[in-house]
Amino acid sequence: MLKALALLAAVVAFGPALFRAVAWRPALAAAPPEHRPSLDALLLARLRPVAVAAAALLTAASLAALLGLAYTTAAGTGAWPGLAAVARSLGELVARSRVGLMTALRVAAGPALVYLLARALAPGPAAPAPHPQAAGAPSASQAAGALPGSGAGAAPSPAGAATAGSRVGSAGSAGAERLALVAGGFILLTFSVGGHAVDTPTRAGVAAAVLADLLHFVAACLWGGGLLALALAPWRQLAEPRLVPFAARLVRRFSALAALSVTVLVASGFLMASQRLYGILALFETRYGLDVVWKLALLTVALFFAKDNLLAVRPGLARAAAAQAPAERLLATLRARVLSEGLVLVLILLVAGFLTVTPPPWRLPREVVVTVHPDRYSPASLTWPRSKPVRLVLQNRDTTTHSFVIDGLRYEGLTSHVHGFTPTGTQFVLYAPPRQTVRAVLTPLQSGSFRFYDALQDFAERGLTGTVHVR
């Protein structure tokens, strides 16, 4: 859960800065020069606290995950190991474990990202005060076109409007923005290098897997950060006829970037799935595969909301911009759709976080067939590999329902005909209806010999028992 929370926080922290660099600022060219600083300041005032808080949450969640892993390693199955043992375990994790090292680097980079985002998303210097107006001349707010409803009392003079409006932010904030993008990219790289990509079975595929994983994260940040920025944008001011061209250009630019992001997400996701899943069946008989199915289903829902913005809102804004007409209703529809799309994307990111901590089914499971007779299992002695998936095929040759139960075996996977998920369970249960065959995929996580038996009626006493050896 902490890994999922850290991933979500990374997107919320890094995404807005990325969106502002590649979408917001280029689109500002369509706004009147005198409005550009005010528009940017309004957006930054809303984005800055959210992005900075998300970067702090990213750091805290990563630190908690690292300490939790150190504690679990030190404690094992025993009681509280003591601070010294946890500290030693923490040092060994950082020195010897790739996951520990990448998480530690993420924790170290977190405070720098907090500071850089606070600088990068800080509003620029205020526009210069207006010069005194000659008698009969229009007021400063009329000449400069102060943002309606923004409450801005000071606006640049007509002579200085273009100069003040053409520069958004300051040199310091621009430098901090570039460094924040570098820091954010580095943090995303720690997720990729510390995740499943490096575990790709073929060495030649590791570089492609890491690159695909990183591009997957960057595309998610651009899409998610754009949705967050659009949800917080000053739409009430942008509905004014003078600013509708800017709103239309912003939506058009973001639509193109979002389409590119979805394309990268699908392409990189397909590549990673082809590397990590042993086949189509893995989508339905493994926990990792089912999470992928959920992610695809949620992506379909998000695209359903996005299509209305692409097919209805975007052309409507283009027509309103050409006619210099207000666009309150269109922008209200856009904001509602963006919020819906953003909520679905949050769910997608949470599922993606769970995928990062779920072992992928790299290889085709070893198939083991067990036949149930009225008085025995055949065979009654099984040998399974540890930490590798096994597909158990239970063939019931009797006219009544039988079960296959293993006590004390820690495993990971899903089971058929059993209620719900049983990840890392200590009891494996599989039911076979009369004259039917059922299947289940599980990965044994510990070595040893374990008794299996039929828990229904008195079948175990009649001889329906056996032993599974995990090696």
Write down the pLDDT at residue 417. 40
Residue 313 tokens, joined: 């809102």
Q: How far is CA 441 from the centre of its chain?
A: 27
Write down the pLDDT at residue 203. 66
**Mean pLDDT computed over 63-85:** 79
pLDDT band at residue 62 under the 50/70/90 scheme: very high
152/467 Cα distance (integer angstroms): 78
Write down the pLDDT at residue 431. 92
Write down the pLDDT at residue 172. 54
pLDDT, greater one: 393 or 313: 393
Write down the pLDDT at residue 234. 87
**Mean pLDDT computed over 197-220:** 85
Query: The pTM is what?
Result: 0.75
pLDDT in tens, 112-127: 999 999 998 887 654 4
pLDDT, greater one: 433 or 330: 433
Average pLDDT of the chain, as a whole number: 82
109/98 Cα distance (integer angstroms): 16
Residue 94: pLDDT above 70? yes
Residue type for position 294:
W
Write down the pLDDT at residue 170. 52
